[in-house]
Amino acid sequence: MSRTTYREALRAALAEALERDPRVILMGEDVAAYGGAYAVSKGLAERFGRDRVRDTPLSEGGFVGAGIGAALGGLRPIVEIMTVNFSLLALDQIINNAATARHMSGGQLGVPVVIRMATGAGRQLAAQHSHSLEGYYAHVPGLRVVAPATLEDARGMLATALRSPDPVIIFEHVGLYNLEGELADDAGAVDLDRAAVRRPGRDVTLITSGGSLGKVLTAAEQLAARDVEAEVIDLRTLRPLDDATVMASVRRTRRAVVIDEGWRTGGFAGEVVARIAEQAFYELDAPVARVCSAEVPIPYPQHLEQAALPQVEGVVRAAMQAVGRG
């Protein structure tokens, strides 16, 4: 085991990918000379050269499209988008091209591109750099969408994503880059199919992903102090969703709360709730609850930003209500 951070785990995964496969390139805004907006790719250009770690102009549609084309042409490109809000400039490429090429070619072409982007709030970056739009992408057939919430997944999801014959979107929550902990020295590829039970419990299932996992685990500890044993599920992969792990848990606990940093209306949490209603309705003892962001663009001042986001207290309250003690 070694002490490391989420950022370093991502960097180790990138370095390993570039080392192992000459078809792998990393491209995006400021990934080379600057070292990445969140310093994830620091040092990689020096090590692998500016052709394989390639700075791009501020042309999200252009360079994401080029990543898609490069994937069609036989490379295994990793495209970094600085933040999910900027990915909207590349939404056409991702949804109209990457997600459709296999289908509209009748299965002849595949787009093995990996698109990484920062997501989420908590750093006072206001309303154009802080949103959680994972649900937009999770809506689209043809994409695989993952959200590493742990050091193991930060280290291990990329290698598996690069083996995927289809586009994979990796969401890295900005609040996680400095997350520190122990990581096995031989940590490597992990699956992109299964949700993980991060804490077992029998009374209520708390379902979350990405940047909210830490808050939810803290909430589970507080609940334990009040004799409520919460089971915490980290979805890990938002598309395709691992229904089996979620339903197995909900059938045992008979209660569920979904925690999602996206907005409530039309959001990803609603999808999880709907699946529980479709598949486990008669096993529920309480309405399924959601803890989501407030219906507001993320504000700049810290107190308002924090008030807009799912917080530990809100999760505890929703869980207590679900177990009938709210």
The site for another protein (CB under 8 A) is made up of: 23, 25, 51-52, 56-57, 59, 61-75, 77, 92-93, 96-97, 101-110, 141-142, 144, 160-161, 163-166, 192-193
The distance of closest approach from Cβ of residue 165 to another protein in the complex, given in angstroms and rounded to an integer, is 4
Whether 8 is catalytic: no
Amino acid at the residue 269: A
- Cis peptide bond upstream of 112, omega within 30: no
Tell me if 18 sits within 8 A of 24, measured CB to CB: yes
Residues 6+ apart with CB under 8 A from 132: 84, 119, 120, 121, 210, 211, 260, 261, 262, 293
In the bound state with another protein, the residue whose beta carbon lies nearer, of 166 and 229, is: 166
Q: Report the phi/psi class of residue 99: left, alpha or beta, with left for phi > 0 and alpha for psi in -120 to 50.
A: alpha
Name which of 60 and 203 has its Cβ closer to another protein.
Answer: 60
**From the CB of 297, what's the least distance to another protein, in Å?**
24
From CA 158, how far away is CA 79, in angstroms rounded?
12
User: What is the C-alpha separation between 323 and 319, in angstroms, rounded?
Assistant: 6
Closer of 96 and 128 to another protein (Cβ): 96
| Active-site position among 60, 172, 231, 261 | 60
The answer to whether the beta carbons of residues 9 and 179 sit under 8 Å apart is no
Closest to another protein by CB, 67 or 120: 67
| Catalytic option among 29, 80, 129, 231 | 129
Q: How far is the CB of 82 from another protein (least distance, A)?
A: 16
The residue (of 85 and 97) whose beta carbon lies closer to another protein is: 97
Q: Tokens 């951070």 identify what position?
A: 5
Q: What is the closest distance, in whole angstroms, from the C-beta atom of residue 69 to another protein in the complex?
A: 2
Bridge partners (DSSP) of residue 53 are 26
Instruction: Give CA–CA dist 22/100, Å, rounded.
Output: 26
What is the smallest separation between the CB atom of 166 and another protein, expressed in angstroms? 5
Is 173 an active-site residue?
no
Active site residues: 60, 129
